């Protein structure tokens, strides 16, 4: 899921850093408008650690080895904190594990951070399901959809960027086949992400429902509505 150094051209890497900087600034600005901006720092730190560690739990699904991402869970539980949390986690993964790279850090942050914000927006709109499913059912369904949608969007963005930047010196047919195989391998993981996110939300509803309150309020889109 991480785009490594050297795979995409410099203009796209620079554009990724620009979008990452803008999104981070907008979300931090939104957090700062919260009555208690420091309220979510401990939760954000804990979930950043979970996001960081998730990449080490690899699942062998031929023809590739994949891992949980948890960006949907971050969006559900952190709201506007989710994008900065993803950025910190990706930076540590690149520096300590070599997952991704520093030149592609901005693109990877957009690739995983924007879907996290989308997941948070989906979960915050669970109220529309309450008349039919009740509080618990609405939260479980919304969180499951949010978890799957987040990883699904990340996979789609990864596939489009990687496919659109295949250089002429590579075997284009072989690269396309490899990328398609990787995308297909993420199918079961997308479902697993949704189930895992719903399981965590269901557990928190029983033990500490306050942890499901939005932090800073997730935006309705990755860039806009983060005033």
pLDDT at 158 over 50: yes
> Distance between CA 183 and CA 132 in Å, rounded?
34
Read off the pTM.
0.83
Domain ranges of the chain: 10-212
Alpha-carbon distances of 144 from 15, 62, 86, 155, 206, rounded to whole Å: 31, 25, 19, 17, 17
> Distance between CA 59 and CA 197 in Å, rounded?
17
> Distance between CA 99 and CA 188 in Å, rounded?
22
pLDDT in tens, 128-156: 888 888 888 888 999 999 999 999 999 88
- Give the model's confidence band at 206: pLDDT under 50 very low, under 70 low, under 90 confident, else very high: confident
In sequence order, the 6+-apart residues with CB closer than 8 A to the CB of 144 are 194, 195, 197, 198
Q: What is the arithmetic mean of pLDDT over 90-114?
A: 90
Q: What is the arithmetic mean of pLDDT over 67-89?
A: 91
pLDDT at 15 over 90: yes
CATH fold group of domain 10-212:
Arp2/3 complex 21 kDa subunit ARPC3 (1.10.1760)
- Give the model's confidence band at 219: pLDDT under 50 very low, under 70 low, under 90 confident, else very high: very low
Bigger pLDDT: 124 or 7?
A: 124
Q: What is the arithmetic mean of pLDDT over 73-102?
A: 90
* Residue indicated by tokens 């796209």: 12
Report the mean per-residue pLDDT for the chain: 81
pLDDT at 67 over 80: no
Closest CA relative to residue 145, chosen from 190, 112, 182: 190
């Amino acid at each position: 899921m991480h785009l490594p150094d050297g795979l995409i051209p410099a203009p796209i890497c620079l554009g990724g850093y620009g979008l990452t900087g803008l999104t981070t600034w907008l979300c931090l600005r939104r957090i700062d408008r919260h009555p208690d901006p420091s309220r979510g720092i401990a939760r954000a730190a804990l979930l950043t650690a979970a996001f960081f560690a998730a990449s080490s739990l690899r699942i062998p699904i031929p023809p590739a080895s994949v891992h949980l991402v948890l960006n949907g869970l971050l969006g559900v539980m952190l709201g506007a904190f989710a994008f900065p949390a993803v950025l910190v986690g990706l930076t540590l993964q690149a520096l300590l594990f070599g997952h991704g790279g520093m030149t592609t850090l901005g693109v990877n942050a957009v690739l995983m951070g924007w879907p996290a914000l989308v997941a948070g927006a989906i979960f915050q709109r669970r109220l529309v399901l309450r008349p039919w499913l009740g509080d618990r059912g609405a939260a479980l369904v919304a969180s499951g959809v949010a978890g799957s949608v987040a990883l699904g969007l990340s996979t789609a963005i990864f596939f489009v960027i990687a496919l659109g930047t295949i250089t002429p010196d590579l075997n284009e047919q072989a690269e396309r086949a490899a990328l398609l195989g990787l995308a297909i391998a993420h199918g079961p993981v997308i479902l697993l992400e949704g189930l895992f996110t719903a399981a965590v939300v269901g557990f928190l509803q029983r033990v500490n429902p306050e942890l499901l309150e939005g932090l800073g309020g997730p935006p309705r889109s990755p860039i806009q509505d983060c005033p």
